[in-house]
Amino acid sequence: MVNSINIAPVLAFIHIDFLDILDIFLVAWLLYQLYHIVRGTLAIRIFMGLFGIYLFWKIVEALNMELLSEILGQFIGVGVILLIIVFQQELRKFLLMIGNTDFINNRIFKQNLFHFGAREQNELSINTEIIAKACINMAKTKTGALIVISHSPDIDFYIGSGEILNARMSTSLLENIFFKNAPMHDGAVLIRNNTVLAASCVLPVSDSKDLPSDLGTRHRAALGVSEETSAIAITVSEETGRIGTTKSGVLKQNITPANLNAHLQMLLK
């Protein structure tokens, strides 16, 4: 007869009360907010990797595997410093969000605390036809342009570097902003919810070594913002009039006017 195994000692370490549930909820909320900030960026892979190692460490620790737990514990201890170095931009954005006086506003605080994906579902669909028409018109006249579109607040970090507009998006507005003699034609336009948030914004420039040598600052800035956020960027070259898009650090050039609107809709899904 096979002896039965008593699993009670194995489960003896599990004690759950109200404070444990509250602790789990707060940790889940913080992890979700951090994920919301780094979503769509290269940092998300590092975040998921470190989270997996931490979760494995806690399981090993709960099972009293002392040697492996000690090794992973030392790695996690050093990993905190590495985490600060790797996520310095994301941590800065998170602290700026917490320090924003609007964050404690009742409506916005509830939105940040309880949305868990609802905010994205309630976002207005962006009218890509307006943007496509403006880019096509600017391409015909070889007017340089850089337009950044996002469904999430991750581009808010760059609003302060430009001129805040909060204007209803229109084809004529976009064309006037990038008109060669206009005071705000340099820099990027930030768009969310069919609203032009700001113009003449400064974006991070990609430091990738694999980029073609003929790419200018405008295209490198488009790549940079797509690497650090979930946004997509549209560029119009003032040398050639070519229209390009970037998402998640991937650059696509020579988008034809006929396919531009459908291409933008596909990127924004």
Which residue's entry shows tokens 């990609």?
Answer: 206
**CB-CB contact of 251 with 223 (8 Å):** yes
Last-in-domain residue among 98, 121, 144: 121
Q: How far apart are CA 222 and CA 160, in angstroms?
A: 18
* 9 within domain boundaries: no
* 156 within domain boundaries: yes
Q: Name the helix (H) or strand (E) containing 143.
A: none
Contacts of 201 (CB under 8 A, 6+ apart): 148, 158, 159, 161, 162, 187, 188, 189, 190
| Angle, CA 199 vertex, CA 190 and CA 220 arms, to 5° | 65
Q: How far apart are CA 248 and CA 126, in angstroms?
A: 19
Is the same domain home to 152 and 108?
Answer: no
For position 177, what pLDDT does the model report? 95
Is the same domain home to 132 and 232?
Answer: yes
Domain of 132 in residue numbering reads as: 124-267
The DSSP secondary-structure symbol of 186 reads S
For position 145, what pLDDT does the model report? 95
Is the same domain home to 90 and 149?
Answer: no
Give me the helices (H) in the chain, please: 18-38, 43-62, 66-86, 88-99, 106-114, 118-122, 128-140, 171-177, 217-228, 257-267
Is the same domain home to 74 and 180?
Answer: no
For position 118, what pLDDT does the model report? 43
* 105 within domain boundaries: yes
Is the same domain home to 209 and 137?
Answer: yes
Is the same domain home to 114 and 45?
Answer: yes
Which residue's entry shows tokens 């997996």?
Answer: 52
Q: Name the helix (H) or strand (E) containing 232.
A: strand 232-236
Q: Does position 159 have pLDDT exceeding 80, yes or no?
A: yes
Is the same domain home to 139 and 40?
Answer: no
Q: Which residues pair with 167 in a beta bridge?
A: 196
Is the same domain home to 90 and 210?
Answer: no
For position 47, what pLDDT does the model report? 67
Is the same domain home to 67 and 200?
Answer: no
Q: How far apart are CA 42 and CA 20, in angstroms?
A: 33
Q: Does position 10 have pLDDT exceeding 70, yes or no?
A: no
Is the same domain home to 170 and 251?
Answer: yes
* 169 within domain boundaries: yes
For position 110, what pLDDT does the model report? 46
Report how many domains make up the chain: 2
Last-in-domain residue among 121, 136, 158: 121
Q: Can you give the length of the chain in residues?
A: 269
* Four-residue CA torsion sign, 32, 38, 40, 45: negative
What's the pLDDT tens digit per position in 63-114?
A: 888 888 777 777 777 766 776 776 666 666 666 555 544 444 444 444 444 4
What CATH number is attached to the domain comprising 164? 3.40.1700.10
* 110 within domain boundaries: yes
What's the pLDDT tens digit per position in 207-221?
A: 777 777 778 888 999
Question: What is the pTM for the complete model shown?
Answer: 0.61
Q: Name the pairing type of β-strands 145-149 and 188-192.
A: parallel
* 10 within domain boundaries: no
Last-in-domain residue among 87, 121, 155: 121
Q: Name the helix (H) or strand (E) containing 187.
A: none
* 4 within domain boundaries: no
Is the same domain home to 130 and 170?
Answer: yes
* 5 within domain boundaries: no
Is the same domain home to 37 and 82?
Answer: yes
Report CA Rg, the chain: 23
